[in-house]
Amino acid sequence: MNLTQEEWVSQKEADENAVLLDVRTEDECDQGIIEGAINIDIHKGQEFVDAIAALDKSKNYYVYCRSGMRSAKACEIMNELGIDNAYNLLGGIIEWEGDVV
Protein backbone atom coordinates (compact mmCIF):
# COMPACT_ATOMS: atom_id res chain seq x y z
CA MET A 1 0.00 0.00 0.00
CA ASN A 2 1.35 3.42 -0.95
CA LEU A 3 1.27 6.12 1.73
CA THR A 4 2.27 9.78 1.67
CA GLN A 5 5.01 10.73 4.11
CA GLU A 6 2.45 12.21 6.50
CA GLU A 7 0.31 9.04 6.44
CA TRP A 8 3.39 6.77 6.63
CA VAL A 9 4.86 8.58 9.65
CA SER A 10 1.62 8.93 11.61
CA GLN A 11 0.65 5.30 11.01
CA LYS A 12 4.18 4.06 11.86
CA GLU A 13 4.32 6.08 15.09
CA ALA A 14 0.99 4.66 16.26
CA ASP A 15 1.99 1.09 15.36
CA GLU A 16 3.51 -1.08 18.10
CA ASN A 17 4.38 -3.74 15.50
CA ALA A 18 6.20 -1.37 13.13
CA VAL A 19 9.44 -2.38 11.42
CA LEU A 20 11.28 0.10 9.18
CA LEU A 21 12.76 -1.48 6.07
CA ASP A 22 15.24 0.26 3.75
CA VAL A 23 15.61 -1.60 0.43
CA ARG A 24 18.43 0.54 -1.01
CA THR A 25 22.01 -0.53 -1.65
CA GLU A 26 24.64 -0.46 1.08
CA ASP A 27 26.33 2.54 -0.59
CA GLU A 28 23.05 4.46 -0.56
CA CYS A 29 22.49 3.59 3.10
CA ASP A 30 25.96 4.89 3.94
CA GLN A 31 24.65 8.34 2.89
CA GLY A 32 22.02 8.19 5.63
CA ILE A 33 19.07 6.08 6.73
CA ILE A 34 15.90 6.75 8.67
CA GLU A 35 16.73 5.94 12.27
CA GLY A 36 15.89 2.38 13.30
CA ALA A 37 15.62 1.01 9.75
CA ILE A 38 16.97 -2.39 8.77
CA ASN A 39 18.52 -2.72 5.32
CA ILE A 40 17.71 -5.51 2.88
CA ASP A 41 18.95 -4.59 -0.61
CA ILE A 42 16.32 -5.37 -3.27
CA HIS A 43 19.07 -5.58 -5.92
CA LYS A 44 20.38 -8.78 -4.31
CA GLY A 45 17.77 -10.91 -6.09
CA GLN A 46 17.24 -14.29 -4.46
CA GLU A 47 19.11 -13.19 -1.33
CA PHE A 48 16.53 -10.38 -0.97
CA VAL A 49 13.63 -12.82 -1.49
CA ASP A 50 15.08 -15.23 1.10
CA ALA A 51 15.56 -12.42 3.65
CA ILE A 52 12.01 -11.15 3.11
CA ALA A 53 10.60 -14.69 3.39
CA ALA A 54 12.33 -15.03 6.78
CA LEU A 55 10.70 -11.88 8.22
CA ASP A 56 8.07 -12.08 10.96
CA LYS A 57 4.73 -11.98 9.10
CA SER A 58 2.95 -10.64 12.20
CA LYS A 59 4.84 -7.33 11.97
CA ASN A 60 3.92 -4.26 9.91
CA TYR A 61 6.64 -3.15 7.50
CA TYR A 62 7.23 0.48 6.54
CA VAL A 63 9.33 0.27 3.40
CA TYR A 64 11.33 2.94 1.61
CA CYS A 65 14.05 3.42 -1.00
CA ARG A 66 15.49 6.44 -2.77
CA SER A 67 12.44 7.51 -4.80
CA GLY A 68 9.66 5.06 -3.92
CA MET A 69 9.98 2.82 -6.99
CA ARG A 70 12.06 -0.05 -5.57
CA SER A 71 10.14 0.03 -2.29
CA ALA A 72 6.85 -0.27 -4.22
CA LYS A 73 8.29 -3.37 -5.94
CA ALA A 74 9.51 -4.66 -2.56
CA CYS A 75 5.99 -4.32 -1.15
CA GLU A 76 4.64 -6.34 -4.09
CA ILE A 77 7.19 -9.08 -3.42
CA MET A 78 6.36 -9.01 0.29
CA ASN A 79 2.64 -9.41 -0.52
CA GLU A 80 3.45 -12.39 -2.76
CA LEU A 81 5.40 -13.96 0.13
CA GLY A 82 2.47 -13.62 2.55
CA ILE A 83 3.32 -10.28 4.20
CA ASP A 84 0.12 -8.32 3.69
CA ASN A 85 1.07 -5.39 5.88
CA ALA A 86 3.79 -3.61 3.85
CA TYR A 87 3.52 0.15 3.44
CA ASN A 88 5.47 2.01 0.76
CA LEU A 89 6.75 5.55 1.37
CA LEU A 90 5.75 7.58 -1.69
CA GLY A 91 8.62 9.77 -2.90
CA GLY A 92 11.23 7.78 -0.97
CA ILE A 93 14.06 9.24 1.05
CA ILE A 94 14.78 11.99 -1.50
CA GLU A 95 11.49 13.63 -0.48
CA TRP A 96 11.87 12.69 3.21
CA GLU A 97 11.50 15.69 5.49
CA GLY A 98 12.55 13.96 8.69
CA ASP A 99 15.95 13.17 10.17
CA VAL A 100 18.40 10.64 8.83
CA VAL A 101 21.36 9.08 10.68
Backbone angles phi, psi at 52, to 5 degrees: -65, -45
State yes or no: is 29 an active-site residue: no
Question: Annotated catalytic residue: which of 63, 65, 74, 78?
Answer: 65
Instruction: Sort 47 into a burial class: Cβ within 10 Å, 0-12 / 13-18 / 19+.
Output: exposed
Backbone angles phi, psi at 79, to 5 degrees: -60, -40
Backbone angles phi, psi at 98, to 5 degrees: -95, -170
The set of catalytic residues is 65
